[in-house]
Chain A
Amino acid sequence: MLKQKEADLKKQKGYGYSKERMSLLFQTYRMLLIALGMAIILTIVSPSFLTVNNLRNVALQISINGILAAGMTMIIITGGIDLSVGSILAIAGVVAGRILVVNSQNIVLPILIALVIGMLLGLLNSLFITYGNMPPFIVTLAIMGITRGFALIFTAGYPIWDLPDSYIMIGNGRLFNVIPVPFIIMIVVMIITSLFLKYSVLGRNLYAIGSNVEAAKLSGINVKKSLMTAYTISGLLAAVAGIILSARMRIAEPMAGSGYELDAITATVIGGTAMTGGEGTIWGTFLGVIIMGIIRNGLILLDVSSFWQQVAIGFLLLMAVLIDCLKRKE
């Protein structure tokens, strides 16, 4: 028996499929099966689901949530949470919008400024969390309020109109006249964050920190630097989402994105990321985002009141966490 085990161990050399790995694969594919199942049912009951137009709509709808959820996944893997993304989204949009209204010739500079603001706010979150030793929930809750307040002050509460066409293309353009630009940006963001989490030392350290911060510290991992990176990236992605949303809506609103942090958390958790940290993938989050998108779209196609969307998504969240918790109890 021991010989058998040793042979197994040799055979694996790191690439075999152990029981753990298989169950992990099943877990990821379970979400895929749910997404596919829902899509198939919708195709049968609603003829308008599987049309280019509708799918394009779904892709556009989920883009903002997908970009925020990618950042949220990284944060939740560390065992933290970022409630400020909705507000950072808003301030990035209005800052870029305001500068564009003054000078509509150059769209690169306002976008860069908005992105830097997002990064700085994310960094600010992480400074309080690491050096202030404060819980992420409270820090990002406070920054959420402060940032939203500044977005309102900055605009005096009014939305910003008259954004230049070149900027609006970011939200409304289509690649090959088919695929919406925001969706492409989301895919790029997810591929990059996924590679970052899997192949970079910094990304891998986020899992170690989320699993056991003390052990991570005593293994020589620079916890402060790692958390600062994660929250800064989350802030940056929120700003990216802010630019896309304002461009898509052709209007930069100080109240944009309120409540979006909860959607991002929901997608992340449905995608299998553990709220306790140390576990989760961007691929899972991608499926979580898609499942949420299909539910919303499906209920609209089936002419169900939009109020039921909330119920359905809340229910799905409960089920996803329930399955995870029951599994853990085993």
Chain B
Amino acid sequence: MGQLPRTRLGLVDYKTMFEETEKILDSINVHVNPRTIISSLSVAQQEMVAIGKMLHIKAKLVIFDEPTALLTNEEIEELFKIIRMLKSQNVGIIYITHRLDEVFQISDRVTVLKDGIKVKTVNTNEITEDELITMMVGRKTSDMYKIRRVEHGNTVLKVENLSRGKAFQNISFDVKQGEIFGMFGLVGSGRTEIVKCIFGADKKDSGDIYINGERVEINSPEEAIKKGLAFLPENRKDEGLALDLSVSININMASIDKVSSNGIIDWKKSHERAVGLVERLKTKTHSIHQLVRNLSGGNQQKIVISKWLAQESDIFIFDEPTVGIDIGAKQEIYKIFEQLIGQGKSIIIISSYLPEVMGLSNRILVMYEGKIAAELNPKEATQEKILRYATGHEKS
């Protein structure tokens, strides 16, 4: 792209283009037909092609921004091989990540940034992971996931034999009041699809949903919200926020009924509620009229959470709540979890980061290819065991 080979007539020289492409892709061990349309490739393959593009322009400095967010472990290995190869060819590399293990695997020097300020740059081999975390949060965090638990109450949400086409089949589970219920599975295991279906965003084929013991029909998010459900989508920018609207409008978006009567909005009331929630979650924003686009990832996520706190929902579904968020903000979000269950709310958390689901959840539902692989108690399970279920190596 931007470098198309030309024939003498100035037209695109397709033959050379495809040959060149194949050569480059071969050199990084990617076997994809050069004619393939990008969108039909897997995420990993797409990323490899992007790297191929850099090789083609003979870059001297390559910046990777969270390159492994959507890759499997094997694919990450493959990526690291390429990065090491680039390094050996004297290409400079800036690698941005929130995964600490990757920092130690791939980097020579590491710079820690916090709230837009550089904390320190150190040689990677002179520092431990704990020290690095301390630098990032400004305090020690050996007990990241320790939160105050509460006694569980009645079953608030029960799902029976829920199925939707190929996405997932025969899903049954229940969530109790005051519980944090974890869902774990690899990308494509159907976890997001299940909660979207419960939330009424997708139609179900069969199965029943009970809320507080009562069978409910939920056909739209609108109805789900009235039943006390809240959903924080995986991709907050695409599905969670109206980026070009203000903090205040976003916070009141799901609970507009609470600040309006007869369809007329009480702006004073809605702004006051927004200010209250901004202060309560310590969201960093200049004002409630700030556009959400201008906030950092962690603060944006706090806005999405505020939106549901404003609606005073009972069952919170968090889909990957801490992706792309720094450790400090993560901890604050866990604090909110603690507050929520303390108020007798229930939480379903989906995460592909195992230590997080294991550390937070009371029970974990492990998914594999649209089916339940196991329901486990995280205290009795090991990471290895959960992964074996999630990859279909072990069945219950």
Stretch at the interface among A169-177, A218-226, A252-260: A218-226
Q: Which residue of B lies closest to A20 (CB)?
A: B289
- Shortest distance in angstroms between B232's beta carbon and chain A's nearest beta carbon? 9
Does B221 reach chain A (CB closer than 8 Å)? yes
Q: Which residue of A lies closest to B241 (CB)?
A: A215
Contact of A18 among B224, B240, B257, B289 (CB under 8 A): B289
Does B25 reach chain A (CB closer than 8 Å)? no
Residue from A10, A19, A201 with most neighbouring chain B CB atoms (10 Å): A201
- Shortest distance in angstroms between A73's beta carbon and chain B's nearest beta carbon? 16
**Which residues of B, 223-257, contact A by the 8 Å Cβ criterion?**
224-226, 231, 233, 238-246, 248-249, 253-254, 256-257
Q: A13-B272, A200-B264, A221-B253 are in contact. Are A5 and B239 (CB under 8 A)?
A: no
Stretch at the interface among B206-214, B273-281, B334-342: B273-281
Contact of A201 among B199, B242, B256 (CB under 8 A): B256
Contact B265 A204 (CB under 8 A): yes
Does B222 reach chain A (CB closer than 8 Å)? yes
- Shortest distance in angstroms between A74's beta carbon and chain B's nearest beta carbon? 16
Contact B265 A200 (CB under 8 A): yes
Contact B286 A18 (CB under 8 A): yes
Does A233 reach chain B (CB closer than 8 Å)? no
Contact A218 B239 (CB under 8 A): yes
Contact B264 A5 (CB under 8 A): no
Q: A9-B279, A200-B265 are in contact. Are A218 and B290 (CB under 8 A)?
A: no
In the complex, which residues of chain A have a beta carbon less than 8 angstroms from the beta carbon of B244? 211, 278-279
Contact B288 A220 (CB under 8 A): no
In the complex, which residues of chain A have a beta carbon less than 8 angstroms from the beta carbon of B220? 220, 222
- Shortest distance in angstroms between B329's beta carbon and chain A's nearest beta carbon? 16
Contact A5 B242 (CB under 8 A): no
- Shortest distance in angstroms between B223's beta carbon and chain A's nearest beta carbon? 8
Q: Which residue of B lies closest to A208 (CB)?
A: B242
A40 to B290, CA, bound (A): 36
In the complex, which residues of chain B have a beta carbon less than 8 angstroms from the beta carbon of A221? 222, 253
- Shortest distance in angstroms between A210's beta carbon and chain B's nearest beta carbon? 8
Does A327 reach chain B (CB closer than 8 Å)? no
Does A217 reach chain B (CB closer than 8 Å)? yes
A8 to B279, CA, bound (A): 12
Contact B286 A5 (CB under 8 A): yes
Contact of B242 among A8, A21, A215 (CB under 8 A): A215
Does A315 reach chain B (CB closer than 8 Å)? no
In the complex, which residues of chain A have a beta carbon less than 8 angstroms from the beta carbon of B267? 14, 199
Q: How many residues of B contact A (CB 8 A)?
A: 45
A104 to B36, CA, bound (A): 69
A12 to B285, CA, bound (A): 12
**Which residues of A, 1-55, contact B by the 8 Å Cβ criterion?**
5-6, 8-10, 12-16, 18-21
Contact B264 A220 (CB under 8 A): no
A204 to B259, CA, bound (A): 12
- Shortest distance in angstroms between B285's beta carbon and chain A's nearest beta carbon? 8
Q: Which residue of B lies closest to A14 (CB)?
A: B271
Q: Which residue of A lies closest to B271 (CB)?
A: A14
Contact B221 A220 (CB under 8 A): yes
Does B55 reach chain A (CB closer than 8 Å)? no
Contact of A200 among B263, B268, B286 (CB under 8 A): B263
Does B29 reach chain A (CB closer than 8 Å)? no
Does B291 reach chain A (CB closer than 8 Å)? yes
Does A212 reach chain B (CB closer than 8 Å)? yes
Contact A8 B286 (CB under 8 A): yes
A8 to B285, CA, bound (A): 11
- Shortest distance in angstroms between A126's beta carbon and chain B's nearest beta carbon? 18
Contact B249 A207 (CB under 8 A): yes
- Shortest distance in angstroms between B140's beta carbon and chain A's nearest beta carbon? 22
Residue from A10, A14, A208, A221 with most neighbouring chain B CB atoms (10 Å): A14
Contact B264 A208 (CB under 8 A): no
A20 to B291, CA, bound (A): 8
Does B201 reach chain A (CB closer than 8 Å)? yes
- Shortest distance in angstroms between A178's beta carbon and chain B's nearest beta carbon? 34
Q: A9-B279, A208-B249, A211-B244 are in contact. Are A16 and B287 (CB under 8 A)?
A: yes
In the complex, which residues of chain B have a beta carbon less than 8 angstroms from the beta carbon of A124? none
- Shortest distance in angstroms between A47's beta carbon and chain B's nearest beta carbon? 45
Contact of B245 among A5, A6, A201, A207 (CB under 8 A): A207
Contact B245 A14 (CB under 8 A): no
Contact A219 B286 (CB under 8 A): no
Q: A9-B278, A15-B271, A217-B221 are in contact. Are A212 and B242 (CB under 8 A)?
A: yes
Does B343 reach chain A (CB closer than 8 Å)? no
Q: A15-B271, A204-B249, A204-B265 are in contact. Are A215 and B287 (CB under 8 A)?
A: no
Does A214 reach chain B (CB closer than 8 Å)? yes
In the complex, which residues of chain B have a beta carbon less than 8 angstroms from the beta carbon of A202? 263
A21 to B244, CA, bound (A): 13
A52 to B290, CA, bound (A): 44
Contact B254 A219 (CB under 8 A): yes
Contact of B290 among A14, A15, A20, A278 (CB under 8 A): A20
In the complex, which residues of chain B have a beta carbon less than 8 angstroms from the beta carbon of A299? none
Does A216 reach chain B (CB closer than 8 Å)? yes
Does B307 reach chain A (CB closer than 8 Å)? yes
In the complex, which residues of chain B have a beta carbon less than 8 angstroms from the beta carbon of A222? 220, 222
Q: A14-B274, A218-B201 are in contact. Are A208 and B260 (CB under 8 A)?
A: no
Q: Which residue of A lies closest to B222 (CB)?
A: A220
Contact A13 B275 (CB under 8 A): yes
A18 to B222, CA, bound (A): 33
Contact B287 A8 (CB under 8 A): yes
In the complex, which residues of chain B have a beta carbon less than 8 angstroms from the beta carbon of A217? 201, 221
Contact A20 B271 (CB under 8 A): no
Please, could you name 6 A-B residue pairs with CB atoms under 8 Å apart, sorted by A?
Answer: A13-B272, A211-B242, A212-B241, A215-B239, A220-B222, A220-B224
Given contacts A201-B265, A212-B243, A216-B242, 9 further A-B contacts (CB under 8 A): A5-B286, A8-B286, A10-B275, A14-B270, A201-B263, A211-B242, A212-B238, A214-B239, A217-B221
